[in-house]
């Protein structure tokens, strides 16, 4: 015994010794009330300083694994060992419910193609971390810590970190949103906000209307919440209003979900005129709107376009979900819900029951970063870089891909549609064997089997050279497949 000890990593040695002895005790190799080797003996045996062993033994005592008899030494404490109750096997597959099974079925991360090393991958629309201004983030952390210190590490509020809430309210005010009668809840990114909103909404008809195609995480969560989804076709300048009005008059909906700017996956920005008419329609049919503010900041050209919530003026029919995740730092899980004050009060209680509150550290660092004026600087840099990549990717698509339609007014991806009947799953098969992958478009459609002829190309994290190389391969392979 004791001679098989070895240092596992660079953690303090005394802790590794403590844990080693702990294991011997737990596994029963050392029995209750058995005497432990003296600190001198063990220090010789392990050739370590005696102090290291002493503090290891103190640790064992602190943790209740050993006790000291003065003048005699350390002994193993009683009642430590836990002889297993008759080992017990449950069939968890039978213990989980339909919701859990559906969550796995709809979990694309578990069914996506794994990219081998060196693969050119157009599947990501996450920001390019090389652009992150880490020093400003570090400064924000230090600044905030020196202002508030320890309180940042203790419990915060379900509603969110007050300075950030105030900052975001002003931020939304500057987008032209009328804040009267509205309030804001901080969430763990867009996804938690969307999930909380869906679990609060009354299910009178159990149906939701949205653009088709649309954000696949939204489709997933709508399904997980048991909503039936009606998808409305997209046009070059946004959702098809005739189809929308037809659907609204045919059927009652509990709510609508729209991505008006840099729509995922088509990248289309809904025209200001359409936004006005859309809001008039939703008002007439009294269908509340969940607006996904996704990527609004990644405008590369043209005039500023106000969110739907701005078009609603003092009206309270729009629930705005915001996040900087595609622009700033997705690793900081911070998003927000701006909506009618009464509704936010309900959402706050659900949030508290779900996760108490969002990381105070994430919120306070983000706040300080924004407050220091880093966002504007960063955005200029990021916009310039993404704009360049966006134009380059577009150019490559135009040069190499035999598409029928190419869309994307900004953001971090383009959307390609081939002629009906062409199958991008087959294309993906053929391309991945050549080291190039992308996102097949069908996952963004509200009905299974739709959009098999489409694909999304995320360029944010692909090097210029690879963009050219990858898109050429996709294009050539597509031509071969079409014969």
- In the window 276-305, what residues touch its own copies (CB under 8 A)? 276, 279-280, 282-283, 286, 288, 299, 302-305
Contact 299, 268 (CB under 8 A): no
> What is the C-alpha separation between 234 and 425, in angstroms, rounded?
22
Residues 327 to 386 in contact with its own copies, rule: CB under 8 A: 329-333, 340, 342-343, 345-347, 349-350, 352-362, 365, 371-373, 376, 379-380, 383
Contact 32, 77 (CB under 8 A): yes
Task: Give the three-state DSSP class for 246.
Answer: helix
Least Å from the CB of residue 418 to its own copies? 29
- Residue 71, interface with its own copies (CB under 8 A)? no
DSSP secondary structure string for all residues of 403-448: -SEEE-SSTTEEEEE--TT--HHHHHHHHHTTTEE-EEGGGGSSST
> What is the C-alpha separation between 207 and 248, in angstroms, rounded?
11
- Residue 409, interface with its own copies (CB under 8 A)? no
DSSP code of 133?
-
Least Å from the CB of residue 444 to its own copies? 17
Least Å from the CB of residue 51 to its own copies? 15
Which member of 40, 101, 116, 162 binds its own copies (CB under 8 A)? 101
What do you get for the CA distance between the two ends of the chain, in Å? Answer: 72
DSSP H or E stretch at residue 323: strand 318-323
Number of residues interacting with its own copies: please give it, by CB under 8 A. 138
Binding mask 156-185 for its own copies (x = CB under 8 A): x-x-----------x--xxxx-x-------
DSSP H or E stretch at residue 160: none
Which member of 45, 106, 179, 481 binds its own copies (CB under 8 A)? 106
Nearer to its own copies, 89 or 420 (CB): 89
Contact 205, 198 (CB under 8 A): no
Crossing angle between the packed helical segments 216-224 and 98-105, to the nearest 10 degrees: 170
> What is the C-alpha separation between 215 and 230, in angstroms, rounded?
14
> What is the C-alpha separation between 144 and 375, in angstroms, rounded?
16
Question: Which stretch, 80-88, 113-121, 234-242, 399-407, contacts its own copies (CB under 8 A)?
Answer: 80-88
Most distant CA pair in the chain, distance = 91
Residues 110 to 129 in contact with its own copies, rule: CB under 8 A: 110, 126-127, 129
Question: Which stretch, 15-23, 419-427, 428-436, 467-475, contacts its own copies (CB under 8 A)?
Answer: 15-23
Nearer to its own copies, 280 or 425 (CB): 280
Nearer to its own copies, 378 or 445 (CB): 378
Alpha-carbon dihedral of residues 428, 432, 438, 444, nearest 10 degrees?
A: 40
Which residue's entry shows tokens 């097949």? Answer: 440
Least Å from the CB of residue 24 to its own copies? 11
Nearer to its own copies, 68 or 224 (CB): 224
Least Å from the CB of residue 140 to its own copies? 11
Q: How many CA atoms lie within 13 A of 456 on its CB side?
A: 26
Nearer to its own copies, 263 or 357 (CB): 357
What is the chain's alpha carbon radius of gyration, rounded to the nearest angstrom?
A: 28
Least Å from the CB of residue 465 to its own copies? 21
CA distances from 257 to 50, 212, 412, 456 (A): 66, 11, 21, 20
Binding mask 425-444 for its own copies (x = CB under 8 A): --------------------
Task: Give the three-state DSSP class for 76.
Answer: strand
DSSP code of 341?
H
Which member of 52, 74, 188, 393 binds its own copies (CB under 8 A)? 188
- Residue 237, interface with its own copies (CB under 8 A)? no
Which member of 1, 69, 147, 153 binds its own copies (CB under 8 A)? 153
Least Å from the CB of residue 112 to its own copies? 12
């Amino acid at each position: 015994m004791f001679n098989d000890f070895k240092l596992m990593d660079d953690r303090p040695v005394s802790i590794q010794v403590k844990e080693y002895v702990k294991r011997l005790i737990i596994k029963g190799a050392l029995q209750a009330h058995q005497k432990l080797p003296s600190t001198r003996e063990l220090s010789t045996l392990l050739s370590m300083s005696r102090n290291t062993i002493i503090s290891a033994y103190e640790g064992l005592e602190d943790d209740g694994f050993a006790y000291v008899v003065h003048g005699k030494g350390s002994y193993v404490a009683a009642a430590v060992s836990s002889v297993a109750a008759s080992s017990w096997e449950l069939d968890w597959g039978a213990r989980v419910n339909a919701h859990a099974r559906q969550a796995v079925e709809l979990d694309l991360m578990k069914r996506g193609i794994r990219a081998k090393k060196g693969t050119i991958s157009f599947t990501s629309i996450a920001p390019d971390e090389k652009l992150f201004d880490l020093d400003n983030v570090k400064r924000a952390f230090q600044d905030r810590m020196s202002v508030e210190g320890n309180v940042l590490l203790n419990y915060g509020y379900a509603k969110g970190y007050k300075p950030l809430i105030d900052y975001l309210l002003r931020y939304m005010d500057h987008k032209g949103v009328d804040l009267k009668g509205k309030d804001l809840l901080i969430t763990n990114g867009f996804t938690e906000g969307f999930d909380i909103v869906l679990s609060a909404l009354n299910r009178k008809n159990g149906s939701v209307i949205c653009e088709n195609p649309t954000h696949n995480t939204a489709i997933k969560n709508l399904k997980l919440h048991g909503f039936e989804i009606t998808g409305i076709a997209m046009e070059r300048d946004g959702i098809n209003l005739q189809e929308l009005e037809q659907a609204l008059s045919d059927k009652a909906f509990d709510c609508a979900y729209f991505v008006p700017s840099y729509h995922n996956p088509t990248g289309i920005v809904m025209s200001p005129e359409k936004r006005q008419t859309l809001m008039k329609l939703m008002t007439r049919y009294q269908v509340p709107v969940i607006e996904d503010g996704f990527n609004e900041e990644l405008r590369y050209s043209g005039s500023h376009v106000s969110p739907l919530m701005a078009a609603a003026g003092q009206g309270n029919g729009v629930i705005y979900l915001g996040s900087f995740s595609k622009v700033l730092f997705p690793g900081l899980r911070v998003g927000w819900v701006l909506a009618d004050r009464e509704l936010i009060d309900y959402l706050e209680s659900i949030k508290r029951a779900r996760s108490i509150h969002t990381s105070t550290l994430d919120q306070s660092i983000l706040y300080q970063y924004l407050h220091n004026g880093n966002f504007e600087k960063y955005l200029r840099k990021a916009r310039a870089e993404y704009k360049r990549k966006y134009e380059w990717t577009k150019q490559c698509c135009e040069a190499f891909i035999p598409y029928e339609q190419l869309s994307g007014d900004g953001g971090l991806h383009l959307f390609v549609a081939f002629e009906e009947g062409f199958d991008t799953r087959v294309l993906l098969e053929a391309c991945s064997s050549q080291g190039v992958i992308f996102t097949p478009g069908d996952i963004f459609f509200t009905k299974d089997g739709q959009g098999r002829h489409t694909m999304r190309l995320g360029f944010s994290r692909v090097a210029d050279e690879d963009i050219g190389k990858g898109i050429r391969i996709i294009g050539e392979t597509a031509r071969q497949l079409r014969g």
